[in-house]
Amino acid sequence: MTETITPTVPSLSLTLRSLLRADTAVLFRSRQALVLNLALPLIILFVTNRGGKLGNPGFLIGMAITYGLLSSALIGYSTTVARDREAGVFQRLRVTPTPTWAIMVSRLVVQLATNLVVSVIVMIVGSIMHNTTFTFGEYLLMLVVSLLGAAVFLSIGQALVGVIKSVTAINAIGRVLFIALVLTGILGSTGILGDDFKSFTAWTPVGALINLFSAVLNIAPWGSDATSGLIASFAYIVVFAGIGIRWFRWEPQ
């Protein structure tokens, strides 16, 4: 009589740990990820510090964090996911006992954790370069805003890779969106294009995050701009995450 051997299915915790280790290793081996996550915000800090009094130090640090989060999500995260999909990585993972939701959760958790670590580094380096200090409460609030911003931009990146399959198209559209949002944030925060454009900017992803950084650092009193920024941020997360999850395709074609 022949006995049937049932293959052992790995536990969910073991699967998640393996995915997290693999995704972390891939992220740290990527030069593009290093540049987008850490080098870009540090370059912004260096440029704003060399340029003299370009604004409140807290505002400049918040802006550096914002643009670092934006670039890592729109250019880094979305392109990496699209390339892995095109290479068949997700197809191979889906034939394993790994739940499909765990595959994407691992990617997002690693990216969020990396963004938080980078935000802390930017805060510390920025406070040294701009010769300013923050209280523990201000550091904590900046981390909360950074986490919120990371969720907003990752949701947009997820929506981008969800509705578009081509790696080339995602890379190009991500760069165009990045430039458009950066210019909108800079022009809106300066008010150079008038109050109407400044009010419009407060509802954009970059403008909302910059206003929240200004509010938590007491650069500007908490007002309608900060409130609208908070509302807009949660709305962006719900809408774009929903689109990215609903329309995401695991197969390259």
Q: Report the pLDDT value the prediction gives residue 134, as an integer from 0 to 100.
A: 85
Q: 195 or 21: whose pLDDT is higher?
A: 21
Q: How far is the C-alpha of 164 from the C-alpha of 170, rounded, in Å? A: 7
Q: Report the pLDDT value the prediction gives residue 169, as an integer from 0 to 100.
A: 93
Q: Report how many domains make up the chain.
A: 1
Closest CA to 249 of 152, 166, 151: 166
Model pLDDT for residues 155-204, shown as the tens digit of each residue: 999 999 999 989 999 999 999 999 999 888 877 777 777 778 888 888 89
Q: Please indicate, yes or no, if residue 1 is contained in any of the structural domains.
A: no
Question: What percent of the chain shows pLDDT beyond 90?
Answer: 23
Closest CA to 163 of 247, 57, 224, 94: 247
Q: Please indicate, yes or no, if residue 2 is contained in any of the structural domains.
A: no
Could you tell me how many helices (H) and strands (E) the chain has, helices first? 12, 0
CA-to-CA separations, 210 to 93, 94, 137, 213, in angstroms, rounded: 38, 39, 18, 5
Q: Please indicate, yes or no, if residue 77 is contained in any of the structural domains.
A: yes
Per-residue pLDDT band at 1 (split at 50, 70, 90): very low
Q: Please indicate, yes or no, if residue 8 is contained in any of the structural domains.
A: no
Q: Please indicate, yes or no, if residue 253 is contained in any of the structural domains.
A: no
Domain limits for position 27: 14-246
- End-to-end CA, the chain: 46
CA-to-CA separations, 193 to 21, 137, 155, 183, 188, in angstroms, rounded: 47, 34, 29, 12, 7
The verdict on pTM exceeding 0.85 is: yes
Q: How far is the C-alpha of 253 from the C-alpha of 236, rounded, in Å? A: 28
Q: How far is the C-alpha of 178 from the C-alpha of 190, rounded, in Å? A: 18
3-state secondary structure of 54: coil
Helices 57-71 and 136-163, packing angle to 10 deg: 30
Q: Is the pLDDT of residue 53 over 80?
A: no
Tokens of 177: 């969106």
Model pLDDT for residues 65-90, shown as the tens digit of each residue: 998 899 889 888 998 899 889 988 88
Q: Find the range with the poorest average confidence among 3-7, 13-17, 218-222, 238-242.
A: 3-7
Q: Please indicate, yes or no, if residue 252 is contained in any of the structural domains.
A: no
Sign of CA dihedral 121, 75, 88, 95: positive
Q: Please indicate, yes or no, if residue 5 is contained in any of the structural domains.
A: no
Q: Please indicate, yes or no, if residue 230 is contained in any of the structural domains.
A: yes
Q: Are the C-beta atoms of 204 and 184 separated by less than 8 Å?
A: yes
